[in-house]
Amino acid sequence: MEQVNVDSWRVTSAVASPTLHATLFVRDAFQLKPDDEAVIPPRLSGHVPDLSRLVSNLDVREAALAWTPWFERALDFEFDSMTGRVVAGAASDAARAGFFDPPEFNGLWAWPALQAAARASHREALRWNKFHQTFSGEALHHALRDSVVSSVAWETCAALHVSPARLRATVLVVDVEGTWSARPHPGMFLCSANLARKASLLKDGLRETFLETLRVD
Protein backbone atom coordinates (compact mmCIF):
# COMPACT_ATOMS: atom_id res chain seq x y z
CA MET A 1 0.00 0.00 0.00
CA GLU A 2 1.27 3.45 -0.87
CA GLN A 3 -0.03 6.70 0.56
CA VAL A 4 1.03 9.87 -1.22
CA ASN A 5 -0.04 13.32 -0.15
CA VAL A 6 -0.68 16.07 -2.68
CA ASP A 7 2.32 17.86 -1.23
CA SER A 8 4.46 14.77 -1.85
CA TRP A 9 5.21 13.03 1.43
CA ARG A 10 5.28 9.32 0.72
CA VAL A 11 4.58 6.28 2.92
CA THR A 12 4.81 2.76 1.52
CA SER A 13 3.57 -0.08 3.69
CA ALA A 14 3.02 -3.83 3.57
CA VAL A 15 2.66 -6.94 5.65
CA ALA A 16 5.79 -9.04 5.13
CA SER A 17 5.58 -11.56 2.32
CA PRO A 18 5.28 -15.34 2.75
CA THR A 19 8.96 -15.52 1.75
CA LEU A 20 10.15 -13.36 4.64
CA HIS A 21 7.84 -15.10 7.09
CA ALA A 22 9.15 -18.45 5.82
CA THR A 23 12.71 -17.55 6.80
CA LEU A 24 11.46 -16.78 10.31
CA PHE A 25 9.51 -20.05 10.34
CA VAL A 26 12.67 -22.04 9.56
CA ARG A 27 14.47 -20.33 12.44
CA ASP A 28 11.68 -21.08 14.90
CA ALA A 29 10.81 -24.59 13.69
CA PHE A 30 14.42 -25.72 14.11
CA GLN A 31 15.00 -23.62 17.23
CA LEU A 32 17.95 -21.81 15.72
CA LYS A 33 19.63 -19.23 17.94
CA PRO A 34 21.29 -16.65 15.68
CA ASP A 35 23.57 -14.08 17.22
CA ASP A 36 21.62 -11.31 18.89
CA GLU A 37 21.10 -8.56 16.35
CA ALA A 38 18.84 -5.56 16.78
CA VAL A 39 17.13 -6.09 13.43
CA ILE A 40 16.19 -9.74 14.00
CA PRO A 41 12.52 -10.06 14.98
CA PRO A 42 11.19 -12.14 17.89
CA ARG A 43 9.47 -15.49 17.37
CA LEU A 44 6.53 -15.79 15.00
CA SER A 45 3.10 -15.33 16.55
CA GLY A 46 1.03 -18.41 17.26
CA HIS A 47 2.05 -22.03 17.14
CA VAL A 48 5.17 -23.03 15.23
CA PRO A 49 5.80 -26.79 15.31
CA ASP A 50 9.14 -28.26 16.31
CA LEU A 51 10.43 -29.81 13.07
CA SER A 52 13.93 -30.69 14.26
CA ARG A 53 13.12 -34.40 13.88
CA LEU A 54 12.86 -33.94 10.11
CA VAL A 55 16.62 -33.41 9.69
CA SER A 56 18.82 -35.95 11.42
CA ASN A 57 22.08 -34.73 12.91
CA LEU A 58 21.38 -31.13 11.98
CA ASP A 59 24.29 -28.85 12.82
CA VAL A 60 22.20 -26.27 14.62
CA ARG A 61 25.11 -23.89 15.20
CA GLU A 62 26.07 -23.89 11.51
CA ALA A 63 22.46 -23.37 10.48
CA ALA A 64 22.06 -20.49 12.94
CA LEU A 65 25.20 -18.76 11.67
CA ALA A 66 23.96 -19.04 8.08
CA TRP A 67 20.43 -18.00 8.97
CA THR A 68 21.18 -14.34 9.77
CA PRO A 69 22.60 -13.41 6.33
CA TRP A 70 19.78 -15.40 4.72
CA PHE A 71 17.18 -13.42 6.62
CA GLU A 72 18.97 -10.16 5.81
CA ARG A 73 18.90 -10.99 2.10
CA ALA A 74 15.16 -11.66 2.34
CA LEU A 75 14.68 -8.38 4.19
CA ASP A 76 16.76 -6.45 1.63
CA PHE A 77 14.67 -7.95 -1.16
CA GLU A 78 11.46 -6.92 0.60
CA PHE A 79 12.71 -3.36 1.04
CA ASP A 80 13.93 -3.12 -2.56
CA SER A 81 10.58 -4.40 -3.84
CA MET A 82 8.62 -1.90 -1.75
CA THR A 83 10.77 1.05 -2.80
CA GLY A 84 10.88 0.18 -6.49
CA ARG A 85 14.51 -0.88 -6.66
CA VAL A 86 13.28 -4.29 -7.84
CA VAL A 87 10.31 -4.22 -10.20
CA ALA A 88 7.84 -7.11 -10.24
CA GLY A 89 8.45 -9.53 -13.10
CA ALA A 90 11.27 -11.71 -14.32
CA ALA A 91 13.96 -9.62 -12.64
CA SER A 92 12.15 -9.82 -9.32
CA ASP A 93 11.66 -13.57 -9.62
CA ALA A 94 15.35 -14.04 -10.40
CA ALA A 95 16.40 -11.91 -7.43
CA ARG A 96 14.18 -13.91 -5.09
CA ALA A 97 15.44 -17.22 -6.47
CA GLY A 98 18.95 -16.19 -5.50
CA PHE A 99 18.10 -16.86 -1.85
CA PHE A 100 14.68 -18.56 -1.82
CA ASP A 101 14.15 -21.22 -4.46
CA PRO A 102 12.09 -24.15 -3.14
CA PRO A 103 11.95 -27.06 -3.11
CA GLU A 104 15.71 -27.67 -3.48
CA PHE A 105 16.99 -24.29 -2.23
CA ASN A 106 20.03 -24.47 -4.45
CA GLY A 107 20.84 -20.87 -3.52
CA LEU A 108 21.79 -22.17 -0.07
CA TRP A 109 24.33 -24.70 -1.38
CA ALA A 110 27.14 -23.06 0.60
CA TRP A 111 25.22 -23.63 3.87
CA PRO A 112 24.19 -27.30 3.82
CA ALA A 113 22.68 -27.32 7.31
CA LEU A 114 20.40 -24.38 6.58
CA GLN A 115 19.62 -25.80 3.13
CA ALA A 116 18.49 -29.07 4.72
CA ALA A 117 16.28 -27.24 7.21
CA ALA A 118 14.71 -25.09 4.49
CA ARG A 119 14.07 -28.11 2.26
CA ALA A 120 12.39 -29.99 5.08
CA SER A 121 10.16 -27.18 6.29
CA HIS A 122 9.18 -24.89 3.42
CA ARG A 123 5.76 -26.49 2.90
CA GLU A 124 4.96 -26.14 6.59
CA ALA A 125 6.19 -22.55 6.42
CA LEU A 126 3.79 -21.64 3.65
CA ARG A 127 0.99 -23.45 5.50
CA TRP A 128 1.71 -21.38 8.60
CA ASN A 129 1.52 -18.20 6.53
CA LYS A 130 -1.85 -19.24 5.11
CA PHE A 131 -3.56 -20.47 8.26
CA HIS A 132 -1.84 -18.93 11.28
CA GLN A 133 -0.96 -15.38 10.32
CA THR A 134 -2.80 -12.92 12.57
CA PHE A 135 -2.28 -9.62 10.75
CA SER A 136 -3.62 -8.75 7.31
CA GLY A 137 -3.22 -6.03 4.72
CA GLU A 138 -6.66 -4.78 5.69
CA ALA A 139 -5.55 -4.45 9.32
CA LEU A 140 -2.48 -2.53 8.20
CA HIS A 141 -4.58 -0.20 6.06
CA HIS A 142 -6.70 0.55 9.12
CA ALA A 143 -3.64 1.05 11.33
CA LEU A 144 -2.06 3.51 8.88
CA ARG A 145 -5.21 5.51 8.38
CA ASP A 146 -4.89 9.12 7.31
CA SER A 147 -5.36 10.44 10.84
CA VAL A 148 -2.18 8.60 11.85
CA VAL A 149 0.09 9.26 8.88
CA SER A 150 -0.99 12.80 8.03
CA SER A 151 -0.77 14.05 11.60
CA VAL A 152 2.82 12.81 11.97
CA ALA A 153 3.86 14.18 8.58
CA TRP A 154 2.45 17.64 9.16
CA GLU A 155 3.76 17.79 12.73
CA THR A 156 7.23 16.96 11.44
CA CYS A 157 7.05 19.57 8.70
CA ALA A 158 5.86 22.24 11.13
CA ALA A 159 8.42 21.43 13.80
CA LEU A 160 11.42 21.34 11.46
CA HIS A 161 10.26 23.75 8.74
CA VAL A 162 10.86 21.23 5.97
CA SER A 163 9.02 20.51 2.76
CA PRO A 164 6.62 17.54 2.83
CA ALA A 165 8.40 16.28 -0.29
CA ARG A 166 11.38 15.36 1.88
CA LEU A 167 9.40 12.94 4.05
CA ARG A 168 9.51 9.25 3.13
CA ALA A 169 8.89 6.08 5.09
CA THR A 170 8.59 2.38 4.34
CA VAL A 171 6.62 0.42 6.93
CA LEU A 172 6.90 -3.37 6.99
CA VAL A 173 4.95 -5.45 9.49
CA VAL A 174 6.08 -8.92 10.55
CA ASP A 175 3.68 -11.20 12.39
CA VAL A 176 5.86 -11.84 15.42
CA GLU A 177 5.41 -11.83 19.16
CA GLY A 178 5.54 -8.77 21.37
CA THR A 179 5.75 -5.05 20.79
CA TRP A 180 8.93 -4.77 18.74
CA SER A 181 10.48 -2.56 16.09
CA ALA A 182 13.73 -1.84 14.27
CA ARG A 183 14.99 0.39 11.48
CA PRO A 184 17.29 -1.86 9.42
CA HIS A 185 17.57 0.61 6.51
CA PRO A 186 17.35 4.41 6.46
CA GLY A 187 13.69 5.18 5.92
CA MET A 188 12.47 1.68 6.82
CA PHE A 189 10.37 0.93 9.90
CA LEU A 190 10.11 -2.77 10.64
CA CYS A 191 7.65 -3.64 13.37
CA SER A 192 5.56 -6.37 14.94
CA ALA A 193 1.84 -6.68 14.33
CA ASN A 194 1.17 -5.84 17.97
CA LEU A 195 3.01 -2.51 17.63
CA ALA A 196 1.17 -1.70 14.40
CA ARG A 197 -2.12 -2.01 16.28
CA LYS A 198 -1.09 0.71 18.74
CA ALA A 199 -1.56 4.13 17.12
CA SER A 200 0.69 6.02 19.54
CA LEU A 201 3.62 3.64 19.03
CA LEU A 202 3.09 3.56 15.29
CA LYS A 203 3.16 7.36 15.23
CA ASP A 204 6.42 7.37 17.20
CA GLY A 205 7.95 4.92 14.74
CA LEU A 206 6.84 6.95 11.73
CA ARG A 207 8.16 10.13 13.29
CA GLU A 208 11.61 8.61 13.88
CA THR A 209 11.64 7.17 10.37
CA PHE A 210 10.79 10.53 8.81
CA LEU A 211 13.58 12.12 10.85
CA GLU A 212 16.01 9.45 9.71
CA THR A 213 15.24 10.15 6.05
CA LEU A 214 15.89 13.84 6.66
CA ARG A 215 19.28 13.07 8.22
CA VAL A 216 20.46 11.04 5.24
CA ASP A 217 19.15 13.39 2.52
Residues 112-145 pLDDT 10s? 999 999 999 999 998 998 888 788 888 888 888 8
Q: Is 4 exposed, middle or buried (0-12, 13-18, 19+ CB in 10 A)?
A: exposed
Q: For residue range 20-64, list pLDDT tens digits in order.
A: 999 999 999 999 999 877 789 999 998 999 999 999 999 999 999
100 within 8 A of 71, measured Cβ to Cβ:
no
Per residue in 72-122, pLDDT (tens digit) is 999 999 999 998 776 666 667 788 888 899 999 999 999 999 999 999 999
What pTM value is reported for the model? Answer: 0.91
Q: What is the pLDDT of residue 95?
A: 82
Q: What is the pLDDT of residues 160-205, one digit of tens each?
A: 999 888 999 999 999 999 999 999 999 999 999 999 999 999 999 9
pLDDT at position 91: 66
- For residues 206 and 147, give the distance between their C-alpha atoms in angstroms, rounded to a whole number: 13
Answer whether 55's CB lies under 8 Å from 186's CB: no
Domains in the chain: ranges and CATH = 2-12+135-216 (3.40.50), 18-131 (no CATH)
Does the CA dihedral 179-21-62-54 come out positive or negative? positive
- Residue 7: pLDDT band (50, 70, 90) is low
